[in-house]
Each structure stands twice: as C-alpha cells, then as structure tokens.
Amino acid sequence: MKLWTFLPWLPCLLVCIMCLGSECGTVRRMGRSKRELVRIREARTTFPGACATRLPRGKRSLPGMDRRSPRQHRRSSQAEESSPGRGKAVYFTGRGDQLRLKPGVEVPRGNFTLEMWIKPEGGQRSPAVIAGLYDKCFYASSDRGWLLGIRAVSEQGHRDPRFFFSLKTDRAHKVTSITSNARYLPNQWSHLAVTYNGQQMKLFVNGAQVAVSREQSGEIFSPLTKKCKVLMIGGNALNHNYRGAVEHLTLWRRPRSQQEIMMGMRSHGHLQLDDPSQLVIHETFENASRKWLTVKDGSFPQAEYGGRAGPGEMAGSLDTALEPPPCGQTICDNVEVVTNYNRFWSFRKPKTVRYRVVNVYDDTHRKPTVTEHQIHLQHQHLNEAFRMYNITWELSVHNVYNSSLRHRLVLANCDISKVGDEECDPECNHTLTGFDAGYCKKQKSHCPEYKQGNGVCDPECNWDNYYYDNGDCCNPNITDVTKTCFNPSSPLRAYLDVKELKEILNLDGSTHLNIFFANSSDEDLAGVATWPWDKEALTHLGGIVLNPSFYGTFGHTHTMIHEIGHSLGLYHVFRGISEIESCNDACLETEPSLETGDLCADTNPTPKYKHCRDPEPGNDTCGRRHFTHTPFNNYMSYADDDCTDSFTLNQVARMHCYLDLIYQSWQTSSKPPPVPMAPRVVEQGQDALTLEWFPPITGHFYDREVGSVCDKCTEGRVLLQYASNSSSPRPCAPSGHWSPREAEGPPDVEQACEPSVRTWSPNAGMDSSSVGSPPCPLQGCMLQLEFQYPLVPDSLTVWVTFFSPEETQLPAIHNILLLTVSGENVSLGPRNVFCDTPLTLKLDVKEEVYGVQFFTTEQHLEIDATLLASKPDCSLCQACQPLHYRLLRQPPFSHAPHGLLLSDTSRRYMDR
C-alpha cells in the first residue's frame, strides 16, 4: 500500500528515502536478440534477431533475484526462524522421503479442504505430486481419490508447468483435473488450497480461486473401501515425487469458503476453531513421526529453517517483487516504477552519458570510415535531440589505423556461417561475398576444369561449388583478395561480420556506448543496436552499429537517435501492431498502454508506416482498419528526419530508468540511482508507523567497484555468480553456434522452448554440411562450466531452454556433477526439466565448489546459463560495505533536521 493512502491519518508526515554510497551500481541483465542486433528504421522487412522480433514472455527467477527485476526477499533472523509456535518447513528431496498418514487418522470420505504453504523448486517430473489420496488396494492408482501437484499443461509435455488438482470418486467413469491460471514460480512460497463439497472441486493459489469444476459429485469413496485409502505427501513413491518445501499442512472435513482460506493464509498457522471436530490434521512438522510414516524404507524429509518469516514479521513484510508485465523484460517495465519516473522530476535529473565513435583508417591515416565533419554534425544533432530530456552525450573518438580492416567489407546483419551454406540468404547477397558464394546468383557461368587452380583467379570459377577456383581467388600472390576472396573459411576473405569486427577491436563496453560502422546488402538497413537487457550490453560485443551513409549527413542524423532509443530500452512505436506473432500475443496493442505494445501509454497504436501522416485505412490482420493520431513524428517511428522530432514522456521515463538500472557505469556521475517507489507502511499502531522502502533498482546493497566481488553480493551477503569459463570435449561446428561459451554469463535466449544458437548444445559437434551427423556417443555429451570464486554453495540454477519433445520419457539431463576444490566431486543424479522454467536445486554440500559438469544423451538439449549461489553471510561478501540510506521527513525530525543516516540492511524505520 502506498504511503499516501494513509494521509487521512498522517496529515504531517512525508518521508523521502535516498540511497547513498560510492555506487549503487549496475546489473547486467539478460539479452533477448538471437544475435545482438536489432532491426531499425526504414527497413521494409525484418530479419531474425532484430528488434522487430517478439521477445519471450517467460519469467526466469533466480534464487533471491529475478532476471527482470531485483527480487530481494527478506531473510529471517535466527530468532524469528526458531520462534515458538512457528512450526517447521520440511524439505522433500524428490527421492525416498515421502510421508503417509498413520492408519489411525480417518481421512474425509466426502467434503474436505486441504491447505498448505509450499516452496517448489524449479524443474520437476510432470506430474509431480505434492499431496494425494491413494487407493492402496489398487496401489498408486491415480484415478481413485485425488491429487494436488504440478504438471506441464502444454502438448509438448515439458513446458508451462502449473498447479493442478485432480479427483475421481469411486463411482465416476473418469478423473477430473483442474489447473491454475499461470505457471508456478520456483523457489517462492505459495499458499495452496483445494476444496470439494460433493458437487464442486475448487483450486486456490494465494487465496485466489483459480479453477473450479462440477464434473464430479457424491462421496469420494464408500465406507467399504475406507481401509484402502492412504493420504501421502511429497509424492507417490513411483517417481512422480515432489521436490521442495512444505509448511503448515491442514486438512478439514468440510469445504472452507474463500474468505476462511484467506483468513487461514494470514494467520500463519495460528488456528481459530469454531468446531474442532471439523479439523482432521493441523501439521506443523514439529514432530512429524507422531502422525506420519515413511514410505517403504525411506527417511523423513529434512527440516528447513530458512522458510517463510515468523508470524509477527510476516504480517508486516514488504513484497519487493516488482514484476514486469507479460510483454516486458525488466523492472523498468514495471508500471509503478516507470510511472514514478514519469511523475517525479527527481528521477529524471540531468545525466551525462559517455559514447565512443570507432573510426577505422588505413595504415597511412587516410580514408576514414566517417569524416570529422560527420562526427561533429551527428554529435550536435544528438545533443539537440536529447538535451531537453535531461540527457547529454559526451563524445570521444577511437581511431584505428589498419588497412586490412579498412579495406574489408563489414556486413551488419549477415552471419558468416550463412555464406556458402547452399541457400541464398538475402542479408549475405553482396558482390564482396560473391553473391552468397554463388547461391544468390541465378545463372552461374560454367568453369572448365583446366581453369581450376591454374594460378589465376577466374571469376567464373570463384564459387563455392568450384572451391573458389581451388584457392586461387584467396591467394594474395595471385590477386587482390580484398575484392576476390569469397571463401568464408579463409582468413583473407573480403568481408567480416559485425561480431568478428567487435572481437578484433575488443573495446570495453562498460564505460562507453560504442558506435561501430558496417554496411548491409539491404540498402534500407540503417543501423542495429543492442538491447539493455542483452547480456552483451556492457561488453565489447554490445553497442550500436550504423551504416556510415546514414551517419552525420543531413537528412539522416535521426538514425543514430533512433538507435540510441533502442539501446536505452525503447521499442518501435508500431511494436504492438506490426511486430507481434499472433492476435493472442501478450504485446498486441488495442489501446495505448504501459503493459502492451511499446509499453508507453502516450503513443497510440500504429502499424509500421514510413510517411509523415496517419496510415491509410487498411486490412490489419487482427481486425483493426483505422489508426488515428499515430506517433509518426516520434523518433522511434520509421518516418524520415524532416518528420521525426520528439520522444514522449513515457519514453523519457523508460530511458532514464535504464540509465539507472543498466548504464550507471557509462555516466560521469557515480551517485547511486534512486529508489523509484514510495516507502510503504507495513505496520500501524496507535502511536507509531513502521515504514519500509524498496532496494535500489539495480538490486545492489553494497558499495562496490563494478566487476568486483561486491558486485555479485546481494541482500543477506549471498554471492550470486554465473559461469565464467566453459569447455566440452565435443568439438564445435565451424560456425561456432551452440559452443560452450554460449552457456557462460546470464541467460539470453530469445524464445524459451525454441532452438537458439545462443546456447550450448551437443549440436555444436554437428557439421550441417555432412549427412547423418553423429549423435551423442554412448557415454553421453558433457558440458563443463567453472565459476570465478569457489564457494560452499546453497543452490544451483540451470536454464535448460530446449530439448526434443519426443525424448521426454527420460530425464533431459542424465547427471549433474559438482566439481569440488578437494576433488571429492558430488553427483546430483538425473534431472527432469521444463524448458520455460529454470531448474533450481537446493544443495547440501560442505565442500567448496568451483565448477559443474552436465551429462546428457539428448543431442538437442540446449543449456543457456548456470548460476551458483552461496549460503547467506558468504565470507567473500564480508568486506562489502552496506549502502546507507538518508531518511528525510517533513516536518523535520526534531533531533535530526537534515535527516537520519541509516545503515540498517532491513530498510525499515519506525516513526513515533
């Protein structure tokens, strides 16, 4: 609840929270574009990986941090965790630790309600049974009784996992199953409740009724079969077992109302009973052996002391999960956050941002890619466009003197692996690629055999199918290779792709926005840019690529302004109409909104249109024909320079947010970004209010240098680190796609559950030109990932974003091996995964871990990223100094008129 909601009670109180410290910092966010480039203005068509490409919808939660928003959850103190009456959470490993109710407890035959708190881990076997009533006379038969659990609801069987509740009475012909309305969130506490009243089944998640069915009726079983019924939690002992925590399980003999369920959810285990006879079980797991037996020869689940906060603290905790909308990416897409950036000028204070133009000359310091006049004219127009929005650009020029580089064609949107791949790729169709090594040439001349390899570069032989004149056309002693070498495997070829150029230059992207230049076979392609959430945004592979013809020339200076808009998180104004995949797309924009389309409520929906007026009525694919008051004069449209002249207030708010969230290190000021949310009242008494405020939007809690270990420490001194080194014994294909390096760093897959070259896969060992490429060997394929800092881990998170649907009978990963410093490696065994939900594994390891190995026999498996999290109070984070917060009050505090300086990591203050 926002602070101003309480203003009738608080006529005099206004609180400001400011984050203080040498730096609040920068977080690298995951990228989305399949390559790093985004398609921009004046293009008639789109190419894969362009900013026109729809971005994935899936949320990817990290332990303690969400990839899209800094999701910091409160960690309870030891005193709170062991407080009397709180009860325990128990952790099920998914192996042999299921529990069954002792025979002396009578399970309801008809009406019932089951309630519990659960924290499921990511990646389960579908279905995973959390609790169920089974018929042991027909052992483990799931169609006699009821089940509560998690299962994938998509046809592919390994995506879209949700909570489900199924039930079949002994007299019914078939089972009825209902599912929740959204995917479950791994590693987060959720309250689940199911009810049955003899006529209706209902499923509740966090107090909300999410599903209902009337297909079953009558009692679940008759008195004659009572002895056959057994209630189990944690699974069914037949491999459909649950992995995660359970707390406060309650079973009633009657269907509870939604209001009662919500009251019980808020009571945190303290029951108020009107009729105790209706209560069958109230299990706090303080002494589980009193009512429960283990299954077969299994063990009791482990007690977990890191669960939900205690009763007093839980009632007044702040939910800091600032989720983006389904169409968004990061915390800067959260409606409340961007609204505050829009509403309060203090979040849009002047910012000076460094950018660097990379200009390539020949060895004699002549023939620059762009002239000094172009650079300065563009700089002038750039600052004229952004100055009124409190953004100033500081220019530096990086000159490179290299004739070999200067004389080679740099292709903006052609991946080298596509040249000569036996298909005509339009983006690679250029004279200096030999028209895609001849595959875009409709009529190729015949090359007689005597000319092949005769010591002369014969143009009619310079094609892929003649091996580029048997090498003559790439021999510098015979010909000018800068004009004739088309062979993509030759180091002397006449062209480079943008990634190769960036690798050669290797310019740090963490201090400046780098501006590169490249050409394109598509003359309308004026430039491409890296999204701020791309994991390469702050590396040498990030930045903006411009066609030099569209840079610093009159009538074309808005191209760079448009591209910088993309780098600062702005979409095309026509995203919600022309860049959606279907009419069910979450980004479809029917009216201006902060949650659909370009995520700006002050740009009306519009199709892609190049002219300086509203588009003519047309037959839009989703039924809309007329578009009026369209933002054709916006820099993020495709209109020409003489039309475009402005950004909107919502766009400006987004750019300032991304400058705070991602690009703090590009700015000349090192002051930490603000907290763009009002503090909340979390407790209210007769003479006091307790306020709590959100963390800095970067999610950093410690003063640190970018790149230092403190850069990786989160609330509770938990060290989070992605893999930084990779290897695999399986060789890579010549293209380099699916290489081990693609599994380093944070996730950046464009579309979960679809193949992506931005992952590691055994496909890396397959040469696409050969027939019948070998699958994984019998012993399986292996990926090894290593981390910068060895540590005793608390959890492991793995993004497995694709594997073959037909292979789902076997676990996609057949073993995970933790590599320890002592050499006593730990096997975690096989793991089932979902392609749109990260696999999260709680670890019980005492050794320091420095790496992890994944083994699979699934040749299409794709691993995007791996994250290792330390236990709280990691020694590597001990030296990190916590941020300080200044609390200002109006009227001022009598004892501190200039505000209070607080270093309390709870971000909480009681005002009396």
**Residues 144, 146, 149, 150: is their CA dihedral positive or negative?**
positive
**Residues 707, 712, 714, 717: is their CA dihedral positive or negative?**
negative
Higher pLDDT, 10 or 260: 260
Distance of alpha carbon 761 from alpha carbon 738, whole angstroms: 5
Q: Where are the alpha helices (DSSP H) in 317-441?
A: 335-343, 372-387, 403-406, 434-437
The predicted structure's pLDDT at residue 762: 84
Three-state DSSP at 890 gives coil
- Over 90: is that where the pLDDT of 409 sits? no
Contact between 199 and 214 (Cβ < 8 Å): yes
Dmax (CA) for the chain in angstroms is 100
- Kindly state the DSSP code that residue 290 receives in the 8-state scheme: G
Structure-block tokens of residue 418: 């596509």
Distance of alpha carbon 21 from alpha carbon 903, whole angstroms: 11
In our burial notation (b when 16+ CB lie closer than 10 A, e otherwise), range 221-241 reads beeebeebbbbbbbbbbeebb
Structure-block tokens of residue 543: 């930045």
Higher pLDDT, 119 or 31: 119
Contact between 135 and 145 (Cβ < 8 Å): yes
Contact between 391 and 353 (Cβ < 8 Å): yes
Tokens 């994991």 map to which residue?
Answer: 535
Edge to edge, what strands does the sheet with 680-684 contain? 680-684, 689-692, 908-911
Write down the catalytic residue from 81, 313, 563, 589.
563
Percent of the chain with pLDDT over 70: 82
The predicted structure's pLDDT at residue 302: 86
Query: What phi and psi, each to the nearest 5 degrees, are found at residue 150?
Result: -125, 135
- Over 80: is that where the pLDDT of 383 sits? yes
Structure-block tokens of residue 412: 């903006």
Q: Which of 387-401, 740-754, 761-775 has the lowest mean pLDDT?
A: 761-775
DSSP letter for each residue of 117-133? EEEEPS--PSSEEEEEE
Query: How many angstroms separate the first and last alpha carbons of the chain?
Result: 19
Please state, in angstroms and as integers, the Cα–Cα distance from residue 184 to each residue in 60, 124, 311, 667, following that order: 11, 11, 24, 39
- Over 90: is that where the pLDDT of 854 sits? yes
CB atoms within 10 A of CB 774: 12
User: What radius of gyration, in Å, describes the C-alpha atoms of the chain?
Assistant: 30
Three-state DSSP at 302 gives strand
Tokens 């603000």 map to which residue?
Answer: 674
Contact between 394 and 355 (Cβ < 8 Å): yes
Q: Which of 328-342, 708-722, 773-787 has the lowest mean pLDDT?
A: 773-787
Q: Which of 1-5, 347-351, 592-596, 809-813 has the lowest mean pLDDT?
A: 1-5
Contact between 321 and 66 (Cβ < 8 Å): yes
The predicted structure's pLDDT at residue 567: 97
Structure confidence at residue 526 as a pLDDT band (50, 70, 90): confident
pLDDT in tens, 461-515: 988 888 889 999 999 999 998 889 998 888 888 888 888 899 999 999 999 999 9
CB atoms within 10 A of CB 259: 9
Closest CA to 531 of 332, 680, 681, 354: 332
Q: What angle do CA 204, 206, 210 make, to 5 degrees?
A: 35
The predicted structure's pLDDT at residue 375: 97
The predicted structure's pLDDT at residue 212: 97
- Over 70: is that where the pLDDT of 390 sits? yes
Helix (H) or strand (E) holding 178: strand 176-179
Query: What phi and psi, each to the nearest 5 degrees, are found at residue 746?
Result: -75, 165
Helix (H) or strand (E) holding 259: helix 258-267
Distance of alpha carbon 748 from alpha carbon 757, whole angstroms: 10
pLDDT in tens, 429-455: 888 888 888 888 877 778 898 998 899
Distance of alpha carbon 387 from alpha carbon 381, whole angstroms: 10
Edge to edge, what strands does the sheet with 713-714 contain? 713-714, 718-722, 862-870, 793-802, 839-842
The predicted structure's pLDDT at residue 392: 97
Distance of alpha carbon 229 from alpha carbon 218, whole angstroms: 17
- Kindly state the DSSP code that residue 324 receives in the 8-state scheme: P
- Kindly state the DSSP code that residue 27 receives in the 8-state scheme: -
In sequence order, which residues have a C-beta less than 8 Å from that of residue 151 and are 6 or more positions away? 126, 127, 128, 161, 162, 164, 179
Structure-block tokens of residue 211: 């599903």
- Kindly state the DSSP code that residue 5 receives in the 8-state scheme: G
Distance of alpha carbon 849 from alpha carbon 852, whole angstroms: 8
The predicted structure's pLDDT at residue 331: 92
3-state DSSP percent of the chain in helix, strand and coil, to 5 = 20, 25, 55
Structure confidence at residue 53 as a pLDDT band (50, 70, 90): very low
- Over 90: is that where the pLDDT of 85 sits? no
Contact between 523 and 541 (Cβ < 8 Å): no
pLDDT in tens, 884-894: 888 888 888 88
CA atoms within 13 A on the CB side of 95: 11
Q: Is the peptide bond before 729 cis (omega within 30 degrees of 0)?
A: no
Higher pLDDT, 22 or 259: 259
- Over 90: is that where the pLDDT of 146 sits? yes
Greatest mean pLDDT among 384-393, 677-686, 698-707, 732-741 = 384-393
Report, as an integer, the average pLDDT of 789-817: 87
Structure-block tokens of residue 708: 């230092």
Contact between 529 and 567 (Cβ < 8 Å): yes
The predicted structure's pLDDT at residue 16: 56
Tell me the average pLDDT of the chain: 83
Tokens 């944070």 map to which residue?
Answer: 746
Contact between 544 and 666 (Cβ < 8 Å): no
Strands 409-411 and 495-497: parallel
Q: Which of 66-80, 346-360, 520-534, 891-905 has the lowest mean pLDDT?
A: 66-80
The predicted structure's pLDDT at residue 736: 63
Decide if 563 is catalytic. Answer: yes
- Over 80: is that where the pLDDT of 150 sits? yes
Percent of the chain with pLDDT over 90: 48
Structure confidence at residue 333 as a pLDDT band (50, 70, 90): very high
Q: What domains lie within the chain, and their CATH numbers?
A: 89-315 (2.60.120.200), 343-404+500-608+617-658 (3.40.390.10), 409-493 (no CATH), 718-871 (2.60.120.260)
Helix (H) or strand (E) holding 788: strand 781-791
Tokens 């009050």 map to which residue?
Answer: 889
- Over 70: is that where the pLDDT of 380 sits? yes
